[in-house]
A and B are shown apart, each in its own frame.
Chain A
Amino acid sequence: MSSRVSRIEFKRSIALWAGVIVLATALAFLYLLNSAWSRGTTAWTAQWTSMAMWTRSLLFYLWPVALGLGALQGLRDHRSRISELLTSTPRPAWHRAATVAGPTAITLLAAFALLVLVGAAQVIANTEYPHLGWLPISLVGALFLIAGAVLGMGIGRALPSVLTPPVVAMAGITFTSLMQLSLGQTHTITASGIPISEPNRLSLLSPALRDVRDAFTTVSTSVHLGQVIWLLGMVATGFALLVVVTSRAKLIALTPVVAGVLLSMAVLPTEPQRMYVLDEAATEPVCDGPVCVTRTHQARLADFAVHGEEALGLLAGALGDQAPVSIRENTVPTPDGSIPRWTADTVLFGFDDDHIVAAQSGEELTRALIAKAMVPGCSPVFSSGGGFNLDEAAAQSIATGWVLGDLTATSGTADVANERILEQALPVWEELNALPPSEQLARINAMRAVATSCDGDALSVLAGGASR
């Protein structure tokens, strides 16, 4: 393919438009909408893996767009009514197919790469943990776009009708949507009786990934492998459809894509835990004395360790030998709807915990860590945010106040809730403070045992009731 031909092809095809549409709409989504991808430690500009996974999620609509634009491109010869003329030329048909597919593939690749670059430029500024584990996620994403466009072109060439591009695009978006809705999800009930849904093997044929729940989860290698097999089948079929003429050959050209689906089904993992796996290197602890964070967040350690040690000191002073001895960032992946697990001698926290996020100054951070140590919270965990339990929040305020010597509603919740928490906490607080110190300590310790084992109601223990 001479450079002159491709220059002309760039000018008269929709290739450039495809690039512009992909890049502009994706950036508009990421910058203009304030959604899960713009918040906390999993923001698309915060960490490499998060950036790669959020940009992949956009393929939910970018891939159908690539399909539709490809189909428009594939219709071109039919529209200008020169198909017969072209089949009579001595040039091999695949030569022409490559000339048509090449520029679109290149612009789509460039647009996706630019999108990733825009994210990367910001991630570099926001994290001190560089790694390349995210690269396969983005590469498979780019391959998805190219394969979609080539398949779209093939379909446009094989079924030349003005209806083809919209139907192909719509079929694409219906497919990706169904994979995120009932068809691509397993519906189960957790041990605690909460219905949840997790992706199944079928949904991995869709280019979009699950929402990013934490900064340490990544996509497993077998997922990449299965998806690449399915994509190679897609490209092969698309290219074959661009080349062949007879309807029998068109049917045969469908073989690669079918084979791709079947082969990838054999490779793709079946359980959700093997699709999205913990990134071991990212969760490696980086410690400063008794305070540990993950390598992903090592940039925040220096500031955090000071307040962590202060909190541990205050806890030791108040609780004596029952006090926790270390603080660690929580890296246990929590499936939707599960009850969190805590231990009494280690304080587990996450940088996305409401209290930690809300702590504006250092002093509040110390308070937040003490609150987390006393009553870590037992509501089932959801990726969309934890539940709020008024009694638990009241117990947390009382216990934190007891360590620090003053009662304040725990921050991290809305102001309206804070008033209700105080209202709930005040009688118990006064009763507790009226007791002799040794009994106060006994109650607090009994409460902590209940709160860290998630087995009973912390507030009623503080109020003097027996733990259930």
Chain B
Amino acid sequence: MLYARSRQLTASLAAVVISAVVVWAIGRGPTDHRLALLVLATGTIAASIGLGGQDHALDRTAAIRWMPRRAMHVLLAGVVVGAVLLTVQTMGHELATVEFVVRNCAGLLGLAALGAAIAGGQYAWTLPFAWLAFAFFAPPPTSVPMEVATWMMLPPGTAAGTWTAVTLGVVGTTAYAVAGPRR
């Protein structure tokens, strides 16, 4: 419980749910996976601030094994963000397929974890945010490098998109689990 509180769990969770409901309610036009991407990114970014503790010195005194706990934290955050969107859209009006949600959750949470390892929990959101801005503004991809660069916009099942998401997920989670948030 203390761990959850120190990681701003309630506030993050509220932000995840509110953003999902708001975008879902607004985006009742033609189905567009960019709306789903916005929900997932907001969720990731809200969850990312929990990737750093309040006080690093205090954390070090805790007699727990940090590595599996940190990995679990990232995975759980990803599951929650994805699950919230999927739950909201069971009320009718689908925004995205399960495949799309899983891929982008994995990739985005990986990015956030990497951001936490590099810049600390407080600034972890900058990495997913920057990539999202790029993906939204970049022209439709015509080559494989551009597909990798705009992975989160690709339709589900595109090899380049899936592999980039998997790589980001694995690298980010590992880096965060091993190194922890930057102090």
A binds B: yes
On A, residues with C-beta under 8 Å from B are 25, 29, 33-36, 58, 60-61, 64-65, 68, 161-163, 165-167, 169-171, 173-174, 177-178, 181-183, 187
B29 & A182 in contact (Cβ 8 Å cutoff): yes
Range, interface on chain B: 20 to 34
Chain B residue nearest to A68 (CB atoms) is: B129
CA distance A215 to B38 in the complex (A): 32
B-side contacts of A171, CB under 8 Å:
42
Task: Identify the interface centre among A166, A174, A182: most chain B CB within 10 Å of its CB.
Answer: A166
Given A170-B42, A177-B34, A178-B26, are A60 and B137 neighbors across the interface (CB < 8 Å)? yes
| Residue B156 interfacial (CB < 8 Å) | no
Q: How far is the CA of A177 from the CA of B15 in the complex (A)?
A: 18
Looking at B23, B45, B121, B132, which has the most chain A CB atoms within 10 Å of its CB?
B45
Q: A288 → chain B, closest Cβ, in Å?
A: 37
Which label, helix, strand, loop or mixed, suits the secondary structure of the B interface? Answer: helix
CB atoms of A177 and B38 under 8 A apart: yes
- Chain A residues whose C-beta falls within 8 Å of the C-beta of B137 in the assembled complex: 29, 58, 60-61
Alpha-carbon separation in the docked complex, A182 to B34 (Å):
10
CB-CB under 8 A for A177 and B139, given A166-B49, A182-B29, A183-B27: no
A174 partner residues in chain B, CB cutoff 8 A? 19, 23, 38, 42
For B8, list chain A residues within 8 Å (CB). 161-163
Q: Is B32 an interface residue (CB 8 A)?
A: yes
**Do residues A181 and B132 form an inter-chain contact, with CB atoms below 8 A?**
no
Q: Please tell me if the beta carbons of B32 and A166 are within 8 angstroms of each other in the complex.
A: no
CB-based contact B49/A170 at 8 Å? no
A177 adjacent to B136 (CB under 8 Å)? yes
Q: Is the CB of B46 within 8 A of A182?
A: no
CB within 8 A of B27: which of A60, A170, A181?
A: A181
When chains A and B are docked, how far (Å) is the Cα of A167 from the Cα of B43?
9
The reply to whether A167 and B27 form a contact with Cβ atoms under 8 Å apart is: no
Determine whether the beta carbon of B27 is less than 8 Å from that of A173: no
- Interchain residue pairs A-B with the least CB separation, the first 9: A182-B29, A61-B133, A166-B125, A35-B139, A166-B45, A170-B42, A163-B11, A174-B38, A162-B49
Give A36's nearest chain B residue, CB to CB.
B139
Which of B11, B28, B137 has the most chain A CB within a 10 Å cutoff? B137
A163 and B19: CB pair below 8 A?
no
In the complex the two chains form, what is the Cα distance from A162 to B46 in whole Å?
Answer: 10
Chain A: minimal CB distance from B143 (Å) = 11
Given A165-B125, A174-B38, A183-B27: 6 more A-B contacts, CB < 8 Å: A61-B137, A163-B12, A166-B45, A166-B46, A166-B49, A173-B38
Contacts of A178 in B (CB 8 A): 23, 26-27, 35, 38
Q: In the complex, what residues of B have CB within 8 A of residue A161's CB?
A: 8, 11
Q: In whole Å, how far is B37's beta carbon from the nearest beta carbon of chain A?
A: 9
B26 neighbours in A (Cβ, 8 Å)? 178, 183
Task: Decide if B19 touches A61 in the complex (CB within 8 Å).
Answer: no
A277, B131: Cα distance in complex, Å = 34
**Which of chain B's residues has its CB closest to A60's CB?**
B137
* CA gap between A64 and B35 in the complex, in Å: 17
Is the Cβ of A166 less than 8 Å from the Cβ of B129? yes
Q: B30 in the interface, Cβ–Cβ < 8 Å?
A: yes
| Contact A170–B35 (Cβ < 8 Å) | no
Q: List the B side residues contacting A173 at CB < 8 Å.
A: 38, 129, 132-133, 136
Chain B residues numbered 100-146 whose CB sits less than 8 Å from any CB in chain A: 121-122, 125, 129-130, 132-134, 136-139
Whole-angstrom distance between the Cβ of A131 and the nearest chain B Cβ? 28
Which A residues touch B34, using CB under 8 A? 177, 181
Residues of the B chain whose Cβ atoms lie less than 8 Å from the Cβ of A162:
8, 49, 121-122
In angstroms, Cα B49 to Cα A68, docked, is 14
Determine the residue in chain B with the shortest Cβ distance to A58.
B137
Q: Which residue of B lies closest to A75 (CB)?
A: B122
Cα distance, A173 to B132, chains bound together (Å): 9
Checking B15, B27, B45, B136 against A182 with a beta-carbon cut-off of 8 angstroms, the contacting residue is B27
A22 to B156, CA, bound (A): 32
A89 vs B26: C-alpha distance when bound (angstroms): 45
When distances are taken between beta carbons in the complex, the residues of chain B under 8 Å from A60 are 133, 136-137
